[in-house]
Amino acid sequence: MSETPFRVLRVDLASGRGETLAIEGRSRWAGGSGLAAMLLGRFGRLDRPWDDPEQPLVFAVGPLTGLYPLMSKTVCAFLSPRHGQAAESHGGGRSALALRLAGYDALVITGRAAQLSCLSLGTRHLALRDVHFLRGLDVQATGKILRRILPGAGHRSILRIGPAGEARAAMACINVDTYRHFGRLGAGAVMGAKNLKAIAVQGDGSPAIPAGKDYPRVFEEVYRLLTATDMMHKYHNLGTAENVAVLNALRALPFRNLKQTHDPGAAAISGEAFAERTLLRNAACAGCPVGCIHIGFVREKFMEPNQYLYRQVSYDHEPIFAVGAMLAVCDPFAALDLMEEAERAGLDVMSAGVALAWATEAFATGLLSERETLLPLAFGDARAYAQAIWHLARGQNDFYRLLASGVERAAAHYGGAEFACVLGQEMAGYATGEVFFVSQALGFRHSHLDSAGYAYDQRHEKPGVEDACRHLFAEEQGRCLLTSMAACLFARAVYTEERLAACLEAAGWGEIASRLPEIARRVQAERWRLRLKGGFTPEEVPFPRRFTEVETWKGPIDPAFLARLRAETARGIRRLAAQAEEDRAAGAAASGVDAPAAEG
Amino acid sequence: MKILTAPRMERCIGCHSCSLACARLVHGRLSWNTAGIRIASSGGLSTGFEAHLCLACDPAPCAAVCPTAAFVQRRGGGVVVRKKRCIRCGACAPACPVGAIHLEPDGEPFVCIHCGRCVPFCPHDCLEHREVEEGAGGPGEEERP
């Protein structure tokens, strides 16, 4: 029996035209991360700059998208403005279900639009429209206008960028449906470089569900595990914000630009404090009954007497760490205000918070003056940070433009590299130890979610290099499989490899179900092949001195162990990439070069 | 007779589990459109969610305009749908005063049949499948939790 090819919509922004492609490889790449990597390899020019108009912006969903709960993520692949190399970012909201129900496994966008434009698509609809009038508009205002002017209200997903993306800031994110993001590594700048303000996906198809009795049975089993057991309790209850107090107690919460790993002020911005004082309601991605999105409120007295407005802002551990702990803003409402400013500006709030934390320390030590920062920066001064976020987003002067391209670049110019909290990109909110630092610095996405080194740090008092390294690569491989489906990683305890196979079988994807370990290995290796081909040298990723000055509950960081783990991880990355090169050569020899075919 | 009501929509998180369950279990589709209950945010996510579903009219205006008796009055309110009789004329959808009927591009109508199969899939207990007296004509006042 022949495989079902991927159905991919390729849109060229220069002409405003699209074509549907039938692309083979379902049993090799599955979808999600695997499909995105394959498409980036096929359409990307790894030897050219990230903002070359021909570079692709890829969005891919998986074989289980929409069919099971929490199969709710879209994988975005692109060349990052951060390093010019292959990158991946994951977003939820309604994007995955909308793309699936629009009838596509993936969307590949190439070219550059002549004017600032919005791409809208559905099962029977594809249009590129001029939205020059949205130039400079913030993310929320853009969403409101697009909802009004685009056809088909209701079941659609609207991806858009703010001023930061238009300014091509490497810290610019793509906002998805108000409260979710393709947050890290600058996907927003890629849209900006393409003159693409927004993408609206109408999920207006209604395909038949898989035949047979197995699908409803497996669905109900998964649904029960996710809703009737305690497996998702954390995410449903306080959400990831629960981590704030836990990490602070462990002495592993980065505070004041990582000068500290705990602080009494953390109590005021804990998940418990946010829930008690600011939590308004929860929300969910489409197809997820857990509802991990926590939405807090801030109200503002904008006029006397007693004239108020209110805003709703989503929060999580990472934004609280970035604009709360790192900036010593220990008031939940003030922290929400900063999250809202970053949200509206279209900045990745994690990178923005860490960048301003570095700038604050550099300002205090005299490396920067108001000539650069345009206003005095001091830990805890939320009002100043609210303005600085917009300077960063708009690239107000040379300093902010450089800072928005990455803290390490600003530090290379102004000094202060030793306290730049960068691990491949601005750090995530865990100062748990050497394994996490290496896992982010040498992670494919430079994300805490690549291989969860922070969890390993917490479970092992005295880790060994080989064991830690084995763990990181095994974890990465498992996560590659999940994100190729494309699952939310919060469901990782439910979607074991065995259950994924059962889900795939019941959904009629037997050809994928029987090859899961092989697919996971292939996707993991191919991503590293792409990254190294773009020039990544894992042996040279710097670890600023601040990371070796940290003290956690285990005591001081062991620089020798850190160095050995980095070297071993770098070797592992090169082995994977070499393996992918060999597989590729063998595949090309066996089947010839596979060019995409027009659907017919 | 029982009817489906959505008395606690303030609790809705917009997961669409109810719509997806209806489409999957009643209509054999993967969809958030071809379902008797559909969730929509009005004016963006920040305003919360509302459920578009049949309010169990008696008499039902959609049944009154159906030229082939594909929609007929249901005891307790709403309609019984006999798909084989439907000629895809699309008259039912505009007749519904609350926009509860979804028409596919080929004119196939989808409306709540008050079976209640969506109810167990709501994680926040927004929905209720409750007994009504015959001839009561709709769900009446919204209940508060």
A527-552 residue pLDDT tens: 999 999 999 999 999 999 999 999 99
Q: Between chains, do A206 and B31 touch, taking CB under 8 Å as contact?
A: yes
Chain A: residue whose CA lies nearest to B32: A155
* Locus of tokens 């578009």: B52
CB contact set of A308 (below 8 Å; sequence gap of 6+): A299, A300, A301, A302
Task: Determine the Cα–Cα distance for residues B28 and B39; give it in Å rounded to an integer.
Answer: 18
What is the reported pLDDT for B141?
46
Q: How far is B17 from chain A (nearest CA, A)?
A: 6
Question: Does pLDDT of A598 surpass 60?
Answer: no
CA nearest neighbour of A298 among A322, A314, A283, A282: A314
Residues A125 and A247 in one domain: no
CB atoms within 10 A of CB A231: 16
Interface of B with A in 38-57 (CB under 8 A): 38, 40, 43-46, 48
Task: Determine the Cα–Cα distance for residues B50 and B70; give it in Å rounded to an integer.
Answer: 28
Q: Between chains, do B44 and A147 touch, taking CB under 8 Å as contact?
A: yes
Instruction: Taking residues A380-394, report their average pLDDT.
Output: 98
Q: What's the CATH number where A365 sits?
A: 1.10.569.10
Q: Between chains, do A147 and B20 touch, taking CB under 8 Å as contact?
A: no
Question: Does pLDDT of A7 surpass 60?
Answer: yes
What is the reported pLDDT for A596?
45
Q: How far is A70 from chain B (nearest CA, A)?
A: 10
Q: Which residues of A touch B121 (CB under 8 A)?
A: 223, 289
Phi, psi (rounded to 5 degrees) for A32:
50, -125
Residue A412 lies in a domain: yes
Instruction: Taking residues A545-569, report their average pLDDT.
Output: 95
Residue B7 lies in a domain: yes
Read off the pLDDT band of B137 (50, 70, 90).
Answer: low
Residue B142 lies in a domain: no
Q: Which residues of A touch B31 (CB under 8 A)?
A: 101, 205-207
Residues A180 and A57 in one domain: yes
Q: Between chains, do A283 and B14 touch, taking CB under 8 Å as contact?
A: yes
Number of domains in chain A: 3
Question: Does pLDDT of A591 surpass 70?
Answer: no
Q: Closest partner residue to A291 among B15, B23, B38, by Cβ?
A: B15
Q: Between chains, do B16 and A179 touch, taking CB under 8 Å as contact?
A: no
Q: What's the CATH number where A170 sits?
A: 3.60.9.10
Amino acid at A589: A
Mutate to test the interface with B, among A202, A206, A295 (most CBs of B within 10 A): A206
Stated length of chain A: 600
What are A's interface residues with B at a Cβ cutoff of 8 A? Answer: 66-67, 69, 97, 100-101, 124, 143-144, 147, 153-155, 177-179, 203-209, 216, 219, 223, 227, 281-291, 293, 312
Q: What percent of chain B has pLDDT over 70?
A: 89
Residue B14 lies in a domain: yes
Crossing angle (nearest 10°) for helices A139-149 and A332-345: 60
What is the reported pLDDT for B143?
45
Distance, first Cα to last Cα, chain A: 19
Sign of CA dihedral A78, A29, A476, A574: negative
Read off the pLDDT band of B44 (50, 70, 90).
Answer: low
The mean of the pLDDT values for chain A is: 95
- pTM of the predicted model, to two decimals? 0.95
What is the reported pLDDT for A168?
98
* 3-state secondary structure labels for all residues of A302-329: EECCCEEEEEEEEECHHHHHHHHHCCCC
Residue A587 lies in a domain: no
What is the reported pLDDT for A226?
92
Residues A357 and A453 in one domain: no
Q: What's the CATH number where B38 sits?
A: 3.30.70.20
Read off the pLDDT band of A14 (50, 70, 90).
Answer: very high
Residue B143 lies in a domain: no
CA nearest neighbour of A99 among A74, A64, A78, A118: A74
Q: Between chains, do A97 and B16 touch, taking CB under 8 Å as contact?
A: yes
* Bridging pattern class, strands B2-5 and B38-41: unpaired
Q: Between chains, do B15 and A312 touch, taking CB under 8 Å as contact?
A: no
Residues A420 and A446 in one domain: no
What is the reported pLDDT for B48?
84
Chain B: residue whose CA lies nearest to A69: B17
Chain A: residue whose CA lies nearest to B26: A209
Residue A505 lies in a domain: no
Query: Residue A81's domain spans which residues?
Result: 6-202
* Half-sphere exposure at residue A533, Cβ-oriented, CA atoms within 13 angstroms: 22
Task: Determine the Cα–Cα distance for residues A126 and A323; give it in Å rounded to an integer.
Answer: 39
A28-83 residue pLDDT tens: 999 999 999 999 999 999 999 999 999 999 999 999 999 999 999 999 999 999 99
Question: Does pLDDT of A599 surpass 50?
Answer: no
Residues A129 and A88 in one domain: yes
Chain B: residue whose CA lies nearest to A180: B45
Q: What is the ipTM of this complex?
A: 0.91
Mutate to test the interface with A, among B9, B11, B16 (most CBs of A within 10 A): B16
Q: Specify whether the CB–CB gap between A396 and A372 falls below 8 A.
A: no
Size of interface A-B (CB pairs under 8 A): 85
A399-417 residue pLDDT tens: 999 999 999 999 999 999 9
Residues A272 and A196 in one domain: no
Residue A306 lies in a domain: yes
Phi, psi (rounded to 5 degrees) for A90:
-115, 140
Q: Closest partner residue to A206 among B14, B17, B33, by Cβ?
A: B33
Residues A287 and A388 in one domain: yes
Residues A398 and A335 in one domain: yes
CB atoms within 10 A of CB B138: 16
Q: Closest partner residue to B13 among A204, A208, A291, by Cβ?
A: A291
Q: Which of A299-303, A480-484, B44-48 has the highest mean pLDDT?
A: A480-484
The burial of B14, by beta-carbon neighbours within 10 Å (0-12 exposed, 13-18 middle, 19 or more buried), is given as: buried
Question: Does pLDDT of A590 surpass 80?
Answer: no
Q: Between chains, do B121 and A223 touch, taking CB under 8 Å as contact?
A: yes
Element (DSSP H or E) covering residue A198: strand A196-202
CB contact set of A228 (below 8 Å; sequence gap of 6+): none
Q: How far is A284 from chain B (nearest CA, A)?
A: 5
* Half-sphere exposure at residue A550, Cβ-oriented, CA atoms within 13 angstroms: 34
B79-93 residue pLDDT tens: 999 999 999 999 999
Question: Does pLDDT of A595 surpass 50?
Answer: no
Phi, psi (rounded to 5 degrees) for A532:
-70, -35
Residues A396 and A529 in one domain: no
What is the reported pLDDT for B144?
42
Residue B34 lies in a domain: yes
Residues A195 and A320 in one domain: no
Read off the pLDDT band of A502 (50, 70, 90).
Answer: very high
Q: Between chains, do A289 and B123 touch, taking CB under 8 Å as contact?
A: yes
What is the reported pLDDT for B135?
62
* Bridging pattern class, strands A106-110 and A6-12: parallel
Question: Does pLDDT of A104 surpass 70?
Answer: yes
Crossing angle (nearest 10°) for helices A559-591 and A516-533: 100
A442-480 residue pLDDT tens: 999 999 999 989 999 999 888 899 999 999 999 999 999
Amino acid at B94: P
Is B104 within 8 Å of chain A by CB? yes
CB contact set of A425 (below 8 Å; sequence gap of 6+): A82, A184, A185, A351, A406, A446
A291-311 residue pLDDT tens: 999 999 999 999 999 999 999
Q: Specify whether the CB–CB gap between A87 and A79 falls below 8 A.
A: yes
CB atoms within 10 A of CB B20: 27
Residues A416 and A441 in one domain: no
What is the reported pLDDT for B139?
55
Mutate to test the interface with B, among A145, A209, A231 (most CBs of B within 10 A): A209
CA nearest neighbour of A558 among A573, A543, A572, A570: A543
Residues A93 and A162 in one domain: yes
Q: Closest partner residue to A284 among B13, B23, B32, by Cβ?
A: B13
Q: Which residues of A touch B20 (CB under 8 A)?
A: 66, 287
Q: Specify whether the CB–CB gap between A170 and A406 falls below 8 A.
A: yes
Question: Does pLDDT of A142 surpass 70?
Answer: yes
Q: How far is A287 from chain B (nearest CA, A)?
A: 5
Q: Closest partner residue to B32 among A203, A283, A289, by Cβ?
A: A203
Instruction: Taking residues A181-196, report their average pLDDT.
Output: 98
Q: Between chains, do B45 and A179 touch, taking CB under 8 Å as contact?
A: yes
Sign of CA dihedral B89, B92, B98, B104: negative
Residue B95 lies in a domain: yes
What is the reported pLDDT for B145?
38
Q: Which residues of B touch A291 (CB under 8 A)?
A: 13, 15, 123-124
Q: How far is A208 from chain B (nearest CA, A)?
A: 4
Q: Between chains, do B32 and A147 touch, taking CB under 8 Å as contact?
A: no
What is the reported pLDDT for B60?
97
Residue B86 lies in a domain: yes
Query: Residue B59's domain spans which residues?
Result: 2-131
